[in-house]
């Protein structure tokens, strides 16, 4: 591999445009549908008019690109200066649905705004709280994150929840073609085709989907050529119960971001994340969510599927991700460009997502085992996953609990996983490692 090609494996390397464009676009294609889907779900639930729905999707892309640039390059204390792709969080959909049905879209945005400010303050104190998030805690959260995302990847693979042809042979074949293409390029080729294996798989799947009748280009003709995102389109309403519910999810989002940052530095750079990176990353999460509420979109957070790309390709260059962010901003200003990408069939995205999400889980395992897996650490991992992930797999177990408890703890289980891992790490007695015990015995003998 040439020196010029190797810069893509460097955090601050300056890659050639012909490398940065496909690798950056790969990140955007992987998260594009996930970025706009939460807003489409909320818009449909609240019966917002088509014009508002279209504008929200456009604003989601614009805000995502803007905050991704802040994460990559940092503004003041905001940003980790790492290749972190930001997007609209799925984790807020359940609580946003409940708040929206009760208080309207304005109530959602008011809770988003206050919760974002709280997350910024939380991020600012993260240096003092870092001791509560050792590898066994962050690794468990990352592992749970990967596990919780797998059903989403499989649902995409089958055509998307609610699709008329869900689990049809055509969808499963299409997803399999993408998965095999990604696997072949990643394992049996070298250079740019191996690194951009996900992009190649998505493009191949997109092309194959056209003659299968799964792509309807007629929708593009209905889009305007140029449209600027509009801030303050919706108002703000502030309700204590809505704000508290959002704050709880914001805390989980912050812990997810800690896990994402740790996974990126561990897998991509081969070191632990610094206090400055974690603090800046969480504060950028909050800033992105605050800007998002101004533009009428749901909170932003780091995207797990893009962490999976870094884990899989080892391309940790932040300029590559910044190039992808430029495409997001363009998609937010030129609706036709965004529409072209958003027409990608769910099964195509699913073919790539299954592997990416599984790689996140593997990253979590690597983090957990970066320290000695003592009986204490094994207990933390086992109880956190057993209760947190276990409850999420049986939604009805919380059916008799208050609605707020169901919203906070019953969705992905990440809240419980994080909470249990942190608490157990504090209260369980420390164990001496085998190395420490051996060292003490040697000292006594000598």
Q: How do residues 295-306 score in pLDDT, each as one tens digit?
A: 999 999 998 778
- Assess contact for 256 and 91: CB atoms under 8 A: yes
The mean pLDDT value for 258-287 works out to 90
The CA distances from residue 271 to 32, 365, 377, in Å, are 29, 15, 20
Number of separate domains in the chain? 1
The mean pLDDT value for 143-163 works out to 85
Q: Does residue 441 sit within a domain?
A: no
pLDDT at 242 > cutoff 90: no
Q: Does residue 435 sit within a domain?
A: no
The mean pLDDT value for 303-328 works out to 88
Averaged pLDDT of the chain: 85
pLDDT at 13 > cutoff 50: yes
Q: At what angle do helices 304-313 and 240-264 cross, to 10 degrees?
A: 0
pLDDT at 440 > cutoff 70: no
**Listed range (72-81, 101-110, 263-272) with the worst mean pLDDT:** 263-272
- Assess contact for 35 and 331: CB atoms under 8 A: no
Query: What tens digit of pLDDT does each residue of 45-56 get?
Result: 788 886 787 788
Q: Does residue 345 sit within a domain?
A: yes
Q: Does residue 443 sit within a domain?
A: no
pLDDT at 441 > cutoff 80: no
Using the 8-state DSSP alphabet, how is residue 371 labeled? S
pTM: 0.73
pLDDT at 10 > cutoff 60: yes
Using the 8-state DSSP alphabet, how is residue 83 labeled? -
Q: DSSP strand E in 255-336: where?
A: 300-302
pLDDT at 424 > cutoff 90: yes
Rounded Cα distance between 3 and 320, Å, is 16
Instruction: Work out the pLDDT band at 213, boundaries 50, 70, 90.
Output: very high
The CA distances from residue 157 to 142, 218, 257, 264, 356, in Å, are 22, 24, 26, 25, 13
- DSSP-based three-state secondary structure for 191: coil
Which pair of tokens denotes residue 234?
């919706």
Provide the residue range defining the domain that includes 166.
Answer: 3-428
Q: Does residue 229 sit within a domain?
A: yes
The mean pLDDT value for 371-378 works out to 93
Using the 8-state DSSP alphabet, how is residue 411 labeled? S
Query: What tens digit of pLDDT does each residue of 20-32 get?
Result: 999 998 888 778 7
103 or 267, greater pLDDT: 103
pLDDT of residue 121: 94
Which pair of tokens denotes residue 268?
């991509």
Instruction: Work out the pLDDT band at 65, boundaries 50, 70, 90.
Output: very high
The mean pLDDT value for 161-186 works out to 93
pLDDT of residue 290: 96
Instruction: Work out the pLDDT band at 253, boundaries 50, 70, 90.
Output: confident
Q: Does residue 60 sit within a domain?
A: yes
Question: Cα dihedral sign for 366, 370, 375, 380?
Answer: negative
Instruction: Work out the pLDDT band at 432, boundaries 50, 70, 90.
Output: low
254 or 287, greater pLDDT: 287
pLDDT of residue 177: 97
Q: Does residue 433 sit within a domain?
A: no
pLDDT of residue 1: 43
Percent residues over pLDDT 70 in the chain: 92
Query: What tens digit of pLDDT does each residue of 94-112 get?
Result: 678 778 888 999 999 999 9
Q: Does residue 156 sit within a domain?
A: yes
Rounded Cα distance between 352 and 435, Å, is 41
- Assess contact for 235 and 335: CB atoms under 8 A: no
**Listed range (1-5, 128-132, 289-293, 404-408) with the worst mean pLDDT:** 1-5
pLDDT of residue 244: 84
pLDDT of residue 331: 84
pLDDT at 15 > cutoff 60: yes
Residue 161: name the closest of 29, 309, 34, 28 by CA.
34
């Amino acid at each position: 591999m040439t020196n010029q090609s190797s810069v893509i494996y460097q955090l601050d390397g300056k890659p050639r445009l012909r490398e940065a464009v496909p690798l950056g676009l790969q990140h955007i294609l992987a998260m594009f549908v996930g970025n706009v889907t939460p807003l489409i779900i909320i818009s449909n639930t609240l019966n917002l008019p088509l014009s508002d729905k279209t504008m929200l999707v456009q604003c989601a892309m614009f805000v995502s690109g803007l905050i991704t640039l802040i994460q990559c390059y940092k503004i003041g204390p905001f940003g980790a200066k790492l290749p972190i792709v930001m997007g609209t969080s799925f984790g807020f959909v359940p609580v946003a649905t409940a708040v929206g049905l009760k208080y309207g879209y304005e109530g959602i945005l008011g809770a988003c705004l206050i919760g974002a400010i709280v997350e910024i303050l939380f991020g600012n104190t993260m240096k003092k709280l870092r001791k509560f998030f050792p590898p066994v805690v962050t690794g468990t959260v990352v592992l749970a994150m990967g596990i919780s995302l797998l059903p989403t990847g499989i649902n995409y693979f089958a055509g998307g929840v609610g699709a008329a042809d869900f689990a049809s042979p055509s969808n499963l074949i299409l997803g399999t073609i993408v998965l095999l293409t990604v696997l072949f390029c990643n394992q049996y080729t070298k250079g740019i085709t191996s690194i951009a294996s996900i992009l190649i798989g998505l493009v191949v799947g997109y092309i194959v989907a056209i003659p299968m009748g799964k792509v309807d280009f007629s929708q593009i003709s209905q889009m305007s050529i140029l449209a600027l995102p509009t801030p303050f389109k919706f108002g703000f309403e502030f309700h204590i119960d809505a704000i508290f519910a959002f704050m709880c999810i914001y805390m989980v989002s912050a812990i997810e971001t800690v896990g994402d940052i740790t996974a990126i530095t561990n897998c991509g750079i081969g070191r632990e994340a610094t206090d400055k990176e974690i603090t800046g990353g969480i504060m950028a999460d909050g800033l992105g969510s605050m800007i998002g509420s101004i533009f009428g979109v749901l909170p932003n957070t780091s995207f797990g599927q893009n962490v999976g790309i870094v884990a899989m390709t080892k391309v940790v260059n932040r300029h590559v991700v910044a190039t992808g962010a430029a495409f997001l901003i363009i998609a937010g200003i030129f609706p036709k460009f965004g529409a072209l990408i958003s027409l990608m069939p769910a099964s195509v995205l699913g073919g790539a997502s299954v592997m990416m999400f599984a790689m996140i889980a593997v990253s979590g395992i690597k983090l957990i085992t970066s320290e000695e897996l003592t009986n204490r650490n094994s207990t933390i991992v086992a109880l956190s996953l057993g209760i947190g992930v276990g409850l999420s797999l049986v939604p009805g177990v919380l059916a008799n609990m208050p609605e707020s408890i169901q919203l906070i703890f019953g969705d992905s289980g990440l809240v419980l996983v994080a909470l249990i891992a942190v608490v157990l790490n504090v209260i369980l007695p420390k164990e001496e490692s085998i190395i420490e015990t051996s060292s003490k015995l040697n000292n006594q003998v000598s």
